[in-house]
Amino acid sequence: MASGGRVPLQPMNFILARLLGLIPTLLGVTLMAFALIRLIPGDPVEIMMGERTLEPERHAALMKELGLDASLPQQYLNYLGDLLQGDLGRSLVTREPVAAELAARFPATLELAFAALCVSVSLGLVTGILAALRRGGWLDRLLMTVATIGHSMPVFWWALILIMFFSVGLGWTPISGRLAVEYDIERHTGFMLIDAWRSGQAGAVQSTLLHLLLPAFTLGTYSMAVVARMTRASLLEVLREDYVRTARAKGLAEPVVVLRHALRNALIPVITVVGLQAGGLLAGAVLTETIFSWPGIGKWIIDAIARRDYPVVQAGIVVTAFTFIAVNLLVDLLYGLADPRLRKKP
């Protein structure tokens, strides 16, 4: 028996407890995804048919064909039953399987989120390290002020500012899309950078990078501020440790002391934050994809909301939420398995 009446959990029990705790969360996500789209005014059949006038009989037949004539509780139970079988349904507009449309767009969102994470981590680490080494100085205050501003700016406003300056003003980057129209490459993986590289066209790779630059920077700015602040706080704490003083007393150069001895241990909490931010980047790409016409899940959901395409909206929300939860769960499990103190229960 551990002190204080706390009993350590075995790793498998710890994992099982975390997984079981997700069941209410996932059920809540499905219920919200189902309910929120139906709170938006508008008849999906009328929107789907456009300006064509429908006879009441035809309208009723389409509602029955789409499964929208049942009561809302029955519709939710049908939706939940299909979801448990791995069936995301069919789009009300295209009549294509939602899973196929999702699979075609998910790589674009993953590519954008990964690029944004690279921006976030690289800039965040550099900013945090410089701020910690100049603690209390003008550079520290300047960098933390910039980080705070970056954390506070609305994504849509920041995206428009970047577009006006770099795309419209300087003409350095494209405004939308993933690849210039003059390049026609085969989409083997769905990841444009990989497909462009496999095509052997240097111009296609350059075009892909230019199209990716602004969306990735826009999306990565918010989490960059979080990484920078955590890096600064963690590094300042580690720099006060005895082994860092010992390394300095041995006459080691300051860059060696900071990068080889202090930063390695300071990165432990930073890695945890980076993992959490990775899930947030996937979930937070909606506005960025919409502004830059990036053909990922975010823009897909926004377009589906305008068309009242219930199955698409539900699938987009559920998959995005599940991805966010899965990444957070993975970080939680790794951190818990690494630190036995977190595997205790009252």
- Summarised one tens digit per residue, pLDDT across range 306-334 is 888 888 888 888 888 888 788 777 776 66
The average pLDDT across 157-179 equals 86
For position 283, what pLDDT does the model report?
Answer: 67
Of 218, 212, 216, 217, which Cα lies nearest the Cα of 196?
A: 212
Q: Where are the alpha helices (DSSP H) in the chain?
A: 11-39, 44-49, 56-65, 72-84, 98-133, 138-152, 155-162, 192-199, 202-238, 242-249, 254-256, 263-283, 286-291, 297-306, 310-338
DSSP secondary structure string, 195-241?
HHHHHT-HHHHHHHHHHHHHHHHHHHHHHHHHHHHHHHHHHHHHTTS
For position 60, what pLDDT does the model report?
Answer: 78
Alpha-carbon span 25 to 27, nearest angstrom: 5
Asked if the model's pLDDT at residue 32 lies above 70, the reply is yes
Asked if the model's pLDDT at residue 276 lies above 50, the reply is yes
CA atoms within 13 A on the CB side of 180: 13
For position 158, what pLDDT does the model report?
Answer: 86
**Cβ atoms of 340 and 8 closer than 8 Å:** yes
Asked if the model's pLDDT at residue 344 lies above 60, the reply is no
How does residue 243 score in pLDDT terms, banded at 50, 70 and 90?
A: confident
* Neighbouring C-beta atoms of residue 149, cutoff 10 Å: 12
**CATH code for the part of the protein at 98-306:** 1.10.3720.10
For position 53, what pLDDT does the model report?
Answer: 64
The average pLDDT across 11-36 equals 77
